[in-house]
Structure formats: structure tokens, C-alpha cells
Structure 1
């Protein structure tokens, strides 16, 4: 059935029917326990439209992963030899039999090729269907689910597909995903303008001998100047801006206000006044420049990432989609996690930006493992193409994202209600760089810095030495059963994350969270790429194999602070890698020598 007829079919449901497929034996594909905090509110409206994404297997993905680690390992002869878009798509393409069988199944339910949206590599197929058709296709029943904070979703707790398709479909969503992609920011505090303080204080850290002095005001207010002082980049001059790029992703109706950016530049980066960034709307993402409607998250991201990396060209992706369903107003479409729409878009682009930060995430356990693995595989595709991806590590310490540790619910979603630390996703994907948070001068790990160990992804080999050292120093017994010591560990690195001075709706405010750390770190990665490009070297791409080997000496080791949650003190920052601040904060002056 063509999409152009979809509304007509819905309006005249009594007069028209979807094609009745032949009988198949359905077999359960995925099932989840009703997640904590959600209760079934009622039946899903049968004509409610779902944007259904079907992931086809990627049989050659292990080969792509091999390429990724080789081109990202600074000791490998192929370091920096990133793959092209076409080479990557060939490595993630599904088997032709999978494409054919899934296409036949969809045709048997009334869809022809013009109704299907295929990803650039043909490994995802997207269709828009009413609930009643999705229920027939997946032998399931959708319901409206209500969260205890008032959000609604249209989801099911299990679905099936014809048995002969089980080896040809990895995942179908939205079905069992109850995640709510959210910004990683803490409370915003409005403040009065404060004159810049002239006195300074020496940075006391293991790298004090090579670091410049830092304005005393940086203990209470973080500016671009503070970050460049703290991270030893005051005297760096951008040399290859025309070949470089840095970008930010925005979701949930967030957009960055240009007038606010100009106010920020006038105060903190005067040379940038009058310059702008590129805005790209994905699936109708908003870019309303009404000053009063500016997004705090978006403004924070663009002002600091672009402020640190100026004059590197910047891009802001505003992606439409908000999963919560509003039953009383007949929401026309229930989207999937919107970052996968952005991922489809950016993977189809021949020249994606070289440094990209995302300040959004979710509790790992609210995302089905099958979906998390497919999204993570998408991030790997960007890495092997030479893109560095940064994600905020989260603002709940070792807990579930609730900033107040006393309110955290640290229980598993598997029906056992076991007490466990709650890692965040996508930060837990081993193919991205997770950025935690620090505060003050000298720096200390901040209490809300998300850290811990994945329950989905095993620890990658690049973390073995650093993480085993950390685990070996943990007190015996205290953490027993609370985390998966064999899991991918987060964060990888850290940066300042508190009291960032931005302009929002025409006024200066202070804002914090690992949503500040990630774009700030991405700005410094853009400067490292600039240094490489200026010498004719390729961009850094996937950072982690470098960070945990040659890059270790380019970080300020943070040895104080902890990230409480789940009724515990959480983990402690300590010598070497730790689950609060990772390897530490960047010493740009050292890193630039290491990468060039």
C-alpha cells in the first residue's frame, strides 16, 4: 500500500482493508519485563501511526570492526587510513537474501517499494504503519504506557516475526524500547553579570609545571578563557580551519539561538563576533530563532564547542522527534529514539564533520540490548570513516540519572529488581568517547559525573590495562554484585562540567552537567584535528585506542572526588583511570605534540 493512500485507508477503514498475508508461524523475537516506573494505561489507538524501523543483519560487521581498530591504533601501520562511505556501506550491507525475504514479507502486508525508506547501506528499512497493522505483522498487542512522572509511550513488551525471518531481522523498534532520550544537564542558575576578576591562582596538579596560571574566577564561573587556561591551549593558533569541522547534535525541540551566540562571543570570544554556524534540520527539526524559545542545552553546546574551536567551521544538527505519546491530543506519529534518525542521516552524508558531540543519553537498561548494539554499530561506522564521537557520560553518578542521589531507583528492569548501578547509553558503546565531569581549580571529580560499567558491552581490549588497575584497587566486598566488572567502563575522559557561563534568551546564566563537558572536550578535539590537518595528517577519528595508549600522558590525572548514587558513595577518583573522571582532563599542549 502506498503511503499516499494511508490516510484514506484510515479514514475509510470500514470500506478498505490491508492485504491479508498468507499464514506464517510466528516465533517470539524479543520480550522484556514491564520496566520500572511504567504501568499500562490502556489500549493503543488502532489508527495511531508508528514509524517502524527494521534492522537487517550486517554479516560483515566483524570485518568492519577489525578495520576500525587498525586505523585507530597509533602503533598500527594503517593508523589514520580511514575508509570511505562506500567501503563502509559494503561492509555493513545485509545479505541479498535478507533484503529479498523482508521485502516479500512487507509486500505480503500491502507495502510496495515506494512505501519503504531504506538506509544508505540498505541495512535498515523504515515504514509507517497504524498500530493495528503493526500488531498483525508482529503478532503482538501495543498499549499506551504511562510513566510515574507523567510521560506516555505506545509500546509492547514482546513481539514475534515469522520463523523463517528470524535470521534475517536483527531488531524492530519501536516495540520494546521504553527509553526516554534526555539531555544530560543539571540545574540552571540565573546570575548577575560579574566583572572579570584579575587575580590568578596557580593550577596545582601533576602537570602544574607545564600549565599556565588560571584566573581565580574559574573556581566559580567557567568561560572559554578558563578552559583554555586549564587545558593548556591559550597560545594555540588555528591553522587549517577550512579543512576542519566540528558539530553538535540537538534533539527534543532544542535549537541554538544566534543572537545569544553573538552575545556570548562579544563577551568571551570577541574575534568571533559576526560569525555563525551551519544549521541542518533532520526530519523537520526546529530552528525557531525567537529569543525567548532558545534551548539551554543547545545554547550551551554551540557556545562552548564553537567558542573553544573558533574559527573551525561549526554545524548544529536539529533533529525532530520526541518519543512520548500524548493520548489526549491524538499525536499523529510516535517516533523512535530520534538519535537513530540523525545516525541514518549522517551516515548517508559523504563528508561528515570530524568532531561531533552529543549531550543526550538514557539509562542503558531502558534500551533493549539488540537495539543498543545496532546503534553502537552505527557509531563504529562513523569512527572508521575518521569521525570522533563524544557523548556525555550522564548526570546521575552511578545511579539512574536522577540528580538527587536520595531519589534514585537503582533496580534492574529484568523483573528481579536487583540493586545495581545504572550505566548510561550511548556512553556505554565502546565505539564512542564518554566524557565525565570535573569542577573547581585544582580539579576534582564532580558528584554527578556518570561512571560505571556496561551490562551490554564487554570491556574492549584498549581498556584492559587501565581498568584492571582500577578494579584491583577497589575495596573488597563493598561493590560486590553492584556492577559488571567485565563490562565496557565509562567515562573515558573528563572536562569541567559546572557553572558554565552562557547566554540564554538574552541573559547570562550558569549551567552545568556532563552536557557541558562533552562539547567542551569536542572543541579541543577539533583543535587537535586542526594541528594534524595543518601538517597533512588525517583526522584522529575514533579516539579511544589512542587515548588509552600514547594519549595517557596527555591528560591531567584527577585523583579526588566521587560519584555517589544507589545509596553508596559510588566510585572514587584515583590515580590512573577511574570510573568518575576516566583518564582525566586534557593537557592540550602535551596532546598536540603526541598527535603530530
Structure 2
């Protein structure tokens, strides 16, 4: 026995393993039913390159979440004490055993530890492999899948396996089973119909008690500009004072380019005091920002012109992330670069000083993102929030539906193989660590029927919603029982105007709308609040939701409550907008003057309760 033990020791000393991981028993790690609308086209080319992202467990994430909630709770003594990049990374770092186990598995396939790409915390490992090797590693088969409506094509599998001993050391491997298209949720913008409304030019102003000086120019009823938003949301002539430290950003994907000529034309006409304004561009994953007017992106132009127009002269950044089109089915050796959102997250988490406010108008149906991957992405967002970043997302333009047909006739089905009829929540809008924005229109404001809203099927209701959401559900009674998850994270949190926005796009001055207009509007307003706090020696607001729900319960006049109307879909009228919070417009639209008092005046009396 002694000599056998010595022999085994010698084998190990020279790096020989009797049973490499690739020869061990494999069990299925994840399997999904392909989402509706996707068809299998053909086997993926063997030499097609995939960048596998391997997510290792984050054993202390619950501790990070506790920190996040404490520093975001206006009633907590730690309010505003945001974590540093290093503190966050320490809290999400994997156990060394997990790192070693994954490294050994990859070494069996010829990848030395120093050749691997790792996230700063080590919780993600990336390795670039051809399909043939990925299929061997994951004991699966990749195919080209095509979306029937859009023609988008991706290389995916519906199931993959890992060695049994690795199941506890790997949370997720992608791209494998995620069919999300990171779209604007049926394009989170809608062109205005000029016949929707006729302005009564005989009435020069509209009385709005919460607005600046109690009134709004009547033209704003069907013609939104930065001036209208400043009047309507009581911003007035507030001018940023902390441009040396405060920053704002908007994200761009899917070949959406922010055009500088359009930007300058917009400012010359609608923000003339800022004619020379500009913004920085950061290029991620071979992202580009084509400046041909013909290539101008309406989404990118809308986001930058309004988020940066409202917050000028706050330094602004546009992130352009490559990764579109996803794949050309006839190509034999393209790169599979259709997960740009993961690339943006990897970049922004590595930034030691990210912008304090970031607006994003992209997402997809929650059910197209596997639960394992959605939870990991949501945890990435929690990391940013814990570092003091206010993350703003649009809620989608499909009401309670999936956006694939007319709201009145949609048939909404689950992707779990049971074809159950359910409302379809959106992601990342449903993540509990971000602030999600619905839409209103007209003045006085009313519910914009496209406003995405509902309840997550993946994420439980967070503590900050424990007062507002159960109250709404109680009043809802049995209406739509079984069509939504009453215990899920509810959204949106707030709302803003979402139609008739004047922009410059491709050299043309035109109108546009959707929750893609509402999100950058709220982003610009949040940036102004952050500016005020920073200028007064206070930390940025960071994760907003605990504050929003406290304000909504105690000082509701800080939001303009929207009552009446609904967000139809799935063959129903959808949820209705009620007094207080509702899953159509959240707590309503912002009153900047009131929120500014709250942000600066010891939280406006909140601590007295």
C-alpha cells in the first residue's frame, strides 16, 4: 500500500490525472424549451467560434445584497455609504475551490490558467472555442436558430451538461440556452400619429398645479421638448453645479449610432444655451458609432438628446457595444458576438469610476432569458447599484403582453412546454436592483396604454415593495388570477412622458415616443438630483427604489399620481392605473422641485416618520 501511494503521488507530481474531468460522468446542468417564434435551421458549423462565459458561484452575494439595501434605505444609518469597486469584488469572489475545479476542467481541454480571461472578481471565466470543442466540453449539440418574425439568427443549444463534480462550482455557462435578442422590446419607441391629438391653440397654457409656476405651455400636449419637460416636471432653470464629479451615460446596442450632427442640431433648436455641448463615446466589444446621417440610430439619438439635454452641462458618455447582427445563417465561420449586454456589463464593472446615472432602453421578454442567466445578470446590476450607480431601464412598450401582435389580440404563452396563458414580464425591467420607468402621454398626464408593467416570474417581491404592491393586489382581487405572479417583483417604479418627443434623426426633425423616451427623461432628472447632492457634499443617490417607495408612501406629492387607463395585452385590458403605486405607471411622474427638497433637506422629513 505504501508503494502504491508513492506511485500515485509521483503521478500527481508530474501532472498526470487518472480520470480527467472530460472523462467523468456528466449530468444535465440546464435544459430549456425553445421560445416561441424560434426555429432550428441546421447544425452549427464546427469551426464557428463561441466565447463561452462560465459563471462561478458568488457565495457572499447575500451579504452584498444586505449592504445594498442598507446603503439605499433612507431610514438606515448607512444611507449613501456606497461600496467601493474592491469591496464589491471581495463580496462576489468565488471560493478558491471553485476556481481550481474550473481551471482543472479547462486544463483537460488544453487551456492553461494564465490563458483564461477572468472578470476582476474572478467570478466569470471566458474562453474562446469552436463549436466542435464546446459541444465536447458541454456534451451537447449546437444549432443555428432563426427568429421567424425578424430573421435574427443565433447559435444555441437547448441543453448542456457538466461533469457531476462541477455542478456546485459553476452556476451558468453561456451562450448556450438563452434566446434573448436584447431588443427594444418590440422597439421601445413608437412614432407619433399626427392625428392622435389636435392642440387647442386658443388656450396658451394648461393649468397643472405640480408644474413650474402651476402651468404648462399648451403646445406640450402633443409636442414634447426639453422645455416642456422642465415645465411639466417642475425642473425650471436648475443648472448643474457639480459637473466636475457628476456623470451621466446612455447605452447603445444593435448598431444604434448616436449622431453628433443630429445632437448639435437638437441642442441648437431645443437647448440653445448648450449649443456647443457634446458627449464622449466609449467603444466596447468592437462597437462603432458610424457618423453617416443615413446610419443614425433613432434609439441612440433619442436617448442621448434627452438624457444629456436635460442634464447639461453634466459630462455625458454614450456606450456603444458591438454584437449585431447576431449571425448570418449562410456564413460558415463567423464569430458568435450576439450577447452585447454581457460585454457592456463586463466593461462597466471593471470601471473604477462609472457614471452615477445610466439609462438603458433595451431588454426582452423575461422568459427568453434562462433563469440561471437572468439571475446572474441581475446580480451584476446589483453590484453597480451597490457602488452608487442609479440604473434606469424602460419598462417596454407591450403592456402586459409580449409585443408580437396587436395588444387586443395577443395570445401570450409560457415557454415551459406547457403553453400556459400568462402575462409576459420584461427583463432587465423585472430585476429588483434597477429602477424601471413606464410611460404617460398628453397633459394633464394620462396612462399611455403601451406602458410595460407587471410582475416577475423569476424574482421575488423585494422588501421595499411590501407596503405598496400588496395593497394594489388586494384591490385587484381575483382579476387576472393565474395570469401573473402575485409574489413577484412588480414594475414599473415610476413613469414619465413617452410620446410626441421632438428629436433630430438622420438630419430630420421628427417626433417619436415610447418608454425609450420615458427612461432617458427620468435618467436626466435623476442626474440633476445627483448633481445637487454632490454639490452639497452628499453622496449620489445610488439605487433609487427604497427611497422611491418610502417617498411614495409618506410624501406622495413628490410624484404626480396617474389614475385611470390601463396597459392592455394578451387579449385583456391589462392592469389599471390606480391611486398610489400601480403596475402601469408606478408611483407616477416626478416632481423635481419636491424631490430636490427630499434629496437635500434631510430627506424632506422622511426621517420624522
Aligning the two structures, in what range does the TM-score lie when normalised by the shorter sequence?
A: over 0.9
Query: Per-residue displacement from partner, 1:539-572 (whole Å, max 9, x unpaired)?
Result: 0000000000035521110102210000000011
1:332 and 2:323 equivalent? Answer: no
> Structure 2 matches for 1:209-220, cutoff 5 A?
212-220=214-222
Name the structure 2 match of 1:502: 503
Name the structure 1 match of 2:136: 136
Q: Secondary structure at the match of 2:526?
A: helix
Query: Per-residue displacement from partner, 1:53-92 (whole Å, max 9, x unpaired)?
Result: 1100000000000000010011100000011000100000
CA RMSD between the two structures: 1.9
- Mapped partners of 2:440, 2:514: distance in 1: 9
Q: TM-score, normalised by structure 1?
A: 0.93
Q: Shift of residue 42 of structure 1?
A: 1.4
Residue of 297, 300, 305 corresponding to 2:299: 297
- Mapped partners of 1:146, 1:68: distance in 2: 39
Q: Is the 8 A contact 2:395 2:438 kept in 1?
A: yes
> Structure 2 matches for 1:251-262, cutoff 5 A?
251-262=253-264
Q: Is the 8 A contact 1:251 1:320 kept in 2?
A: yes
Q: Secondary structure at the match of 1:549?
A: helix
Name the structure 1 match of 2:112: 112
Q: Shift of residue 406 of structure 1?
A: 4.2
Query: Per-residue displacement from partner, 1:275-326 (whole Å, max 9, x unpaired)?
Result: 2101000111111111221100000000000001111110000001136321
Q: Shift of residue 211 of structure 1?
A: 5.4
Q: Shift of residue 254 of structure 1?
A: 1.1
> Structure 2 matches for 1:524-543, cutoff 5 A?
524-543=525-544
Name the structure 2 match of 1:585: 589
1:522 and 2:523 equivalent? Answer: yes
1:186 and 2:199 equivalent? Answer: no
Q: Is the 8 A contact 2:60 2:92 kept in 1?
A: yes
Name the structure 2 match of 1:572: 576
Q: Shift of residue 106 of structure 1?
A: 0.7
- Mapped partners of 2:550, 2:569: distance in 1: 31
Q: Is the 8 A contact 1:55 1:172 kept in 2?
A: yes
Q: Is the 8 A contact 1:470 1:577 kept in 2?
A: yes
Q: Is the 8 A contact 1:49 1:332 kept in 2?
A: yes
- Mapped partners of 1:171, 1:91: distance in 2: 19
Q: Shift of residue 349 of structure 1?
A: 0.4
Q: Shift of residue 505 of structure 1?
A: 0.7
Query: In structure 2, do the counterparts of structure 1 residues 282 and 22 end up closer, same or farther at CA, with 3 Å as the change threshold?
Result: closer
- Mapped partners of 2:595, 2:204: distance in 1: 25
Query: In structure 2, do the counterparts of structure 1 residues 81 and 119 end up closer, same or farther at CA, with 3 Å as the change threshold?
Result: same
Name the structure 2 match of 1:343: 345
Q: Shift of residue 407 of structure 1?
A: 5.4
Name the structure 1 match of 2:491: 490
Query: In structure 2, do the counterparts of structure 1 residues 341 and 197 end up closer, same or farther at CA, with 3 Å as the change threshold?
Result: farther
> Structure 2 matches for 1:128-527, cutoff 5 A?
128-149=128-149, 150-183=151-184, 184-188=187-191, 200-204=204-208, 207=210, 212-322=214-324, 324-330=326-332, 332-402=334-404, 404-406=406-408, 408-474=410-476, 476-527=477-528
> Structure 2 matches for 1:43-58, cutoff 5 A?
43-58=43-58
In the alignment, structure 1 segments of 5+ residues that lack a partner are 1-19
In the alignment, structure 2 segments of 5+ residues that lack a partner are 1-19, 601-609
Q: Is the 8 A contact 1:239 1:530 kept in 2?
A: yes
Q: Shift of residue 270 of structure 1?
A: 0.5
Name the structure 1 match of 2:551: 550
Compare 387-396 and 140-149 and name the one that shifted more.
140-149
Q: Shift of residue 336 of structure 1?
A: 4.7
- Mapped partners of 1:555, 1:439: distance in 2: 15
Q: Shift of residue 35 of structure 1?
A: 1.9
Name the structure 2 match of 1:10: none
